[in-house]
Chains A and B, each alone.
Chain A
């Protein structure tokens, strides 16, 4: 079993792209059910959602507001999971409910180094 990072990217900034409180409630349920399903398979390692504010620091101490490179690609949250191979990791990540939204994406990366080699 290796550990994989699942990065969830979506537009969390543009006002018009944000869900209503009712929609948000539905999305949160879908999200928790998805993570709960991974945890029920004993494949959840850790991770969490992130707040929308943030700072980006660049060389020469240039600090800008915003947790994003491109607006549409801000990181909304991340979790780490256990999977036997990349295929399984991708299949678990592929169920992520944010993929129901146009323009959103989920990135899967294998965690290397440390005891996971």
Chain B
């Protein structure tokens, strides 16, 4: 990693740690102060490292600067008297300034607790994602605005409101009790899953792959697995699913950041380490008797790491989709299920099923119909591909459909 990438990289991995640990001292009421101190720490780093070169242990350097800034801040701003003292009295924050504990153990604990605080059921889903991107993934306001296809002002408002909800809800930074853990895990997993998807599929909107976002999502999930209380089967299933998808990172984009379709990918670029990791976590996920949607999606993702078009592959994928759709319907799952149906049971049956889906505002729907009619009724295939073309929103999608039309 060269010097220009080091600070952005550290920002991604260390920002959340500093904010999480400091929030344990300030309480969520002081979340903005914690963010300010973390941001200033990186500003100081950028200035100092630019002049003096990078220190031998950049992370330790950041922690020590953050500690000092926190200490000064607490002394300068009477925060201790106004906020920490009442907090101390209510037992929330047992630490004293000057003892900011940035040990690995406390960092991990604080981040986990922060995840549960941010994904508290009293906070709206949109706010959870926004806060997670900001606090847990260290994303800038502009990057979040990009991810949501909106402007900075909207995101600022949304984050402001989210932090208000955190304060008003008097949410504590702590792990839920054993009885609650399963229900509280659900929104945490949803957030991680959405973060990953945001990174993985952002390409479809003419954006480069946000690989960083995917890696962050995997890191957060790994933290849950490394903690005994949160190491549940569905968490392992989610990590497995992400590993399988991530195994194609290097194969799915060409040199110009254009997406390469699955069938055209160079399988030698598929990451076999990630595929075996995915397999490992899928086996871990098999404990227990509950089948979550993450289990089913991980099963599908597993079969997608097998390129060969075998009957077994498509039959398995079809059955996973059959069950997934019963747990949670989505148009994309319905379309993928129909594609698997054509591979497992033949095109005729799949055409009948596809015509019933009626997803007529979705260009993937017409692309699927085009695909199914190809070589059965090429005139119909053409009409459907043309509809898909006119509905497609991005250049990349239009190009892919044009290719299919040219082939007819």
A interface residues (Cβ-Cβ under 8 A, vs B): 29, 32-33, 35-37, 39-42, 44
Question: In angstroms, how far is the closest chain B Cβ from the Cβ of A62?
Answer: 35
Q: B322: CB under 8 A from chain A? A: yes
For residue B321, CB closer than 8 A to chain A, the reply is yes
Question: For residue B345, which residues in chain A have a CB less than 8 angstroms away from its CB?
Answer: 33
Query: In the complex the two chains form, what is the Cα distance from A60 to B200 in whole Å?
Result: 63
CB distance from A71 to the nearest CB of B (A): 30
Contact indicator B318/A40 (Cβ below 8 Å) = no
What string of 1s and 0s marks CB contacts (under 8 Å) between B315-338 and chain A?
A: 100110111011001000110011
Q: How far is the CA of A57 from the CA of B358 in the complex (A)?
A: 45
Partner of B357, one of A29, A35, A40: A40
Q: In the complex the two chains form, is B326's CB within 8 Å of A37's CB?
A: no
Query: Chain A contact residues: over half helix, strand or loop, or mixed?
Result: helix
Whether B334 pairs with A41 at a CB distance below 8 angstroms is yes
Q: A32-B319, A33-B318, A36-B321 are in contact. Are A44 and B341 (CB under 8 A)?
A: no
Report Cα–Cα, A29/B322, bound state, in Å.
10
Known: A40-B353, A42-B334. A33 touches B341 (CB 8 A): yes
Complex interface bits, B355-366 against A, C-beta within 8 A gives 1, otherwise 0: 011100000000
Q: Which residue in B322, B333, B357 is a CB contact (below 8 Å) of A33?
A: B322
Q: How far is the CA of A33 from the CA of B352 in the complex (A)?
A: 13
- Residue among A32, A35, A36, A39 with most chain B CB within 10 A: A36
CB pair B318–A39 under 8 Å, yes or no, is no
| Interface pair A39/B357, CB less than 8 Å apart | no
> Once bound together, how far apart are the Cα atoms of A40 and B341, in whole Å?
11
- Residues of A contacting B334 in the complex (Cβ-Cβ under 8 angstroms): 39-42
Q: Which residues of B contact A40 (CB under 8 A)?
A: 321, 325, 329, 333-334, 337-338, 353, 356-357
User: Are B322 and A32 in contact, CB atoms less than 8 angstroms apart?
Assistant: yes
